[in-house]
Amino acid sequence: AGFAHVDCLAEMATRDPWIDVDGRARASRWKHCGTCHQGFLDALDLEMTRRMWRHYRDAPASAYRSGALRNVAIRLRTEDEDDAADRLDEETTTCLDRDHGSVLKSEIVKAASIMDTNPEAALELLTGLRARVGQCGDAHVSATHAYVVGTTLLNLGRSREARPFAVECVELATACHGPETAITFGARRLYATVLVEIGQVQEGRAELARVLAAQTRVLGAGHPNSRITKAALDRVSAMSA
């Protein structure tokens, strides 16, 4: 990992907001490094999100502007800035169909924001979105939905029901983002955790070890996602001891 000059990153995003990723998909330069395609994290991600908001807030109304501001709202919600996120959602609703990918992803993130404190309510919201997500046809949205549903079911102790969602999430994340990206590593960690919870401890531990080895090679041992996986692997190893 290194340091980036935020003004330069924002200027590049303003001039050309998209990055081609191995011919499979395009990634937002507001959210991803143009060189390695890894997503921005923590303070840098939040600052680039605010820069994106400042860039698009006075732009003419369009579906693209609405989608961009929806992404800002999604990020603000993860910082518990729900009032600001709600205002952006309301502002952009009139320009986007209710089944637009950005709208659906925003609703999924709303459910994710309560899945730890009220998983039953989160699951009810996510179940209601299932048909719309399928009809949307956006694999990125489907992958996010599968991940949040699987995690919510784990929180409810319904590990066997979580398994097909974890499998779906790994398949979609790999297809959309490639096999060695932070998003796909997170999906594989979810799948490994499900295996452990349904009693396949050795299989889950082996998968966590593979994920950690790949993360360490691609992201570095000090990357936040690598540390999360290492902590999960340590817990499972302690269970097996």
Q: What is the pLDDT of residue 204?
A: 96
Residues 6+ apart with CB under 8 A from 66: 92, 95, 96, 100, 102
Distance CA 66, CA 95 (A): 6
Burial 111-124 (b: 16+ CB within 10 A, else e): bbbebeeebeebbe
Burial class (CB in 10 A: 0-12, 13-18, 19+), 133: buried
pLDDT for the residue numbered 83: 81
Residue 20 reports pLDDT greater than 70: no
Residues 48-105: tens digit of each pLDDT: 888 887 887 777 766 667 767 777 787 777 777 778 777 777 766 666 677 877 778 8
- Tell me the C-alpha distance between 163 and 169, whole Å: 10
Query: DSSP per residue over 70-103, as a string?
Result: HHHHHHHHHTT-HHHHHHHHHHHHTTS-TTSHHH
- Per-residue pLDDT, averaged over 152-167, amounts to 95
What span, in angstroms and rounded, lies between the C-alpha atoms of 217 and 140? 25
Q: How confident is the model at residue 26 (pLDDT cuts 50, 70, 90)?
A: low
User: Tens digit of pLDDT for each residue in 99-135?
Assistant: 877 778 878 888 888 888 899 999 999 999 999 999 9
Phi then psi dihedrals of residue 32, to 5 deg? -135, 150
Beta-carbon contacts of 227 under 8 Å, excluding residues fewer than 6 positions away, are: 221
Look at 39 and 166; give whichever has higher pLDDT.
166
In the structure encoding, which two tokens stand for residue 166, read together?
Answer: 């974890």
Per-residue pLDDT averaged across 39-50, rounded?
A: 81
Alpha helix positions (H), 37-81: 42-56, 63-78
Asked whether the predicted pLDDT for residue 2 surpasses 50, the reply is no
Percentage of residues in the chain with pLDDT exceeding 90? 40
Q: How open is the CA angle 24-27-33, to the nearest 5 degrees?
A: 120
User: For residue 155, what are its two tokens?
Assistant: 């929180």
